[in-house]
Amino acid sequence: MNIAVQEAQGRVPVTIMQLHGELDASNYLNVITKAQEVYQAGARDLLLDLTDLSYMSSAGLMALHSAALIMRGAEPPDPEYGWSAYHSMAKDREGGVDQHCKIFNPQPSVDRALDITGFKAFLEVYTDMGAALASF
């Protein structure tokens, strides 16, 4: 998997993190690390561009959730704690929509995973770039 980062301007500056390839247990920590890097560099609003993400495992879901937490200034769950990290995701589904991390253009299989797992309850999904940027 490759990660590309670019900046865009909506009402506020938005960092776009483009994920290319497959997101799974072999590389999900790269997404978390990159989210931490952009946050430390000053990013506060993140659009996860999944246009070129062809596959996402449960580890990938943890990476997206961790990125959202990082953009809120919160510490992501330690992936070494296994199920407790997944319980943290369940709590966020009950907490409402995240305002600082959103998803752009997931492929059908990735979109299904987001839907089935309830991620769409707390991470907004957009298929129009202009609308996505304006939503921040």
What are the tens digits of pLDDT across the range 7-43? Answer: 999 899 999 999 999 999 999 999 999 999 999 999 9
What does the radius of gyration of the chain's CA atoms come to, in whole angstroms? 13
- When divided into structural domains, the chain yields a total of 1
Q: Give the CATH number, domain containing residue 86.
A: 3.30.750.24
Sign of CA pseudo-dihedral 14, 15, 18, 19: negative
Calculate helix-pair angle for 58-71, 83-94, nearest 10 degrees. 60
Give the tokens for residue 106: 């997931």
Sign of CA pseudo-dihedral 36, 69, 53, 5: negative
- What pLDDT, on the 0 to 100 scale, is given for residue 94? 54
Q: Which residues of the chain have pLDDT under 70?
A: 79-96
For the question of whether the overall pTM of this predicted structure is more than 0.85, the answer is: yes
- List all residues 6 or more positions away from 89 whose beta carbon is below 8 Å from its beta carbon: 61, 62, 65, 117, 119
